[in-house]
């Protein structure tokens, strides 16, 4: 599928922001005063900035408020509701810490749980799509949550926790790639099922459905070369896992910590680009994709 920059930014930065809010919410001795203000500001800039960037992908951004109305059936709507609830509750929690120095632990824990809920609902927007077999598996929510928690721990300065979670997130990412590569072939979907003619025998395309490009071909039949994909996977793992882990194993320094964070973010951006670029939508079979 076509990897739109707005969606890549949304899934990357909102996940990191809500991951940081999770760790700030469960911290038994959370930062307060100006230090707390900086931590919460970074988390909100990432979470809110990511959510706002997703609106750029809408055909009619002015109708974004309607996303809140379908929470009974739409994971997108549930994500919107969870995000607003999280930001509101954590906002009150942060205000108590920063302005009054009061640690209202129940608010923090509730906000932390809602932060994970928001990341989960984001992942389910993609996991529910049976038309994209690569996404339609339980490891997709696990991947989103693992990267959110690992990135959040890294931003929160939890070195030991970040080391463990980065390794776990890397393992989940590799497993997701390995299983995802086989999902389309294992789904039983081919050009026969795509056209509805499979019951009549072997089906092959006589000629393309269109003589020129159209919306579906631009958005749903994006193709990335296998060799390029493997190189980008290696780059993603090196940036989001190897470099941060190596830097965290060195004696702590603020500059090293900053480089580790920037490297991790860059790696997740590459991983998210592949998340969309490698996703084979079954509509591609109708246009002759294999």
Q: What is the pLDDT of residues 134-186, one digit of tens each?
A: 999 999 999 999 999 999 999 999 999 999 999 999 999 999 999 998 887 77
39 within a domain of the structure (yes/no): yes
Q: Count the domains in the chain.
A: 2
Share of the chain above pLDDT 90, in %: 59
Each residue's pLDDT tens digit, 11-57: 999 999 999 999 999 999 999 899 999 999 999 999 999 888 877 66
- Per the CB < 8 A criterion, the answer to whether 122 and 144 are in contact is yes
Q: What is the mean pLDDT of the chain?
A: 87
Q: DSSP class of residue 164?
A: H
C-alpha–C-alpha distance, residues 86 and 88, integer Å:
5
Residues 51 and 119 in one domain: yes
138 within a domain of the structure (yes/no): no
72 vs 92, higher pLDDT: 92
Furthest CA-CA distance within the chain: 73
123 within a domain of the structure (yes/no): yes
Please determine, for residue 208, whether its predicted confidence score (pLDDT) is greater than 70: no
Residues 54 and 178 in one domain: no
Confidence of residue 223 (pLDDT cuts 50, 70, 90): low
Residues 183 and 274 in one domain: yes
Q: pTM to 2 decimals?
A: 0.89
Res 142: pLDDT: 97
Residues 78 and 192 in one domain: no
* 3-state SS class at 94: helix
Give residue 31's region: left, alpha or beta (phi > 0; psi -120 to 50): beta
Q: Which domain holds residue 266?
A: 160-290
256 within a domain of the structure (yes/no): yes
């Amino acid at each position: 599928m076509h990897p739109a920059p707005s969606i890549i930014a949304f899934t990357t930065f909102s996940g990191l922001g809500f991951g940081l809010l999770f760790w700030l919410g469960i911290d038994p001795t959370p930062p307060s005063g100006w230090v707390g203000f900086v931590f919460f500001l970074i988390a909100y800039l990432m979470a809110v900035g990511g959510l706002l960037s997703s609106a750029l992908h809408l055909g009619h951004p002015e109708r974004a408020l309607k996303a809140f109305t379908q929470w009974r059936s739409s994971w997108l709507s549930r994500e919107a509701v969870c995000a607003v609830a999280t930001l509101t509750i954590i906002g009150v929690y942060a205000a108590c810490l920063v302005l009054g120095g009061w640690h209202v632990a129940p608010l923090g824990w509730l906000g932390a749980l809602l932060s994970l809920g928001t990341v989960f609902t984001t992942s389910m927007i993609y996991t529910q799509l049976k038309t994209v077999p690569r996404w339609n598996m339980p490891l997709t929510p696990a991947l989103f949550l693992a990267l959110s928690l690992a990135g959040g721990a890294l931003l929160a300065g939890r070195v030991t926790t970040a080391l463990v979670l980065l390794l776990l997130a890397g393992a989940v990412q590799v497993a997701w790639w390995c299983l995802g590569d086989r999902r389309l072939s294992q789904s039983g979907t081919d050009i026969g099922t795509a056209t509805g003619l499979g019951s009549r025998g072997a089906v092959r395309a006589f000629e393309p459905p269109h003589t020129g490009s159209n919306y579906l071909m631009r958005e749903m039949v994006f193709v990335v070369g296998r060799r390029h994909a493997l190189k980008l996977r290696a780059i993603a793992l090196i940036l989001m896992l190897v470099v941060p882990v190596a830097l965290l194993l060195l004696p702590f320094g603020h500059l090293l910590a900053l480089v580790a964070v920037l490297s991790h973010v860059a790696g997740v951006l590459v991983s998210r680009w592949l998340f969309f670029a490698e996703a084979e939508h079954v509509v591609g079979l109708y246009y002759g994709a294999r």
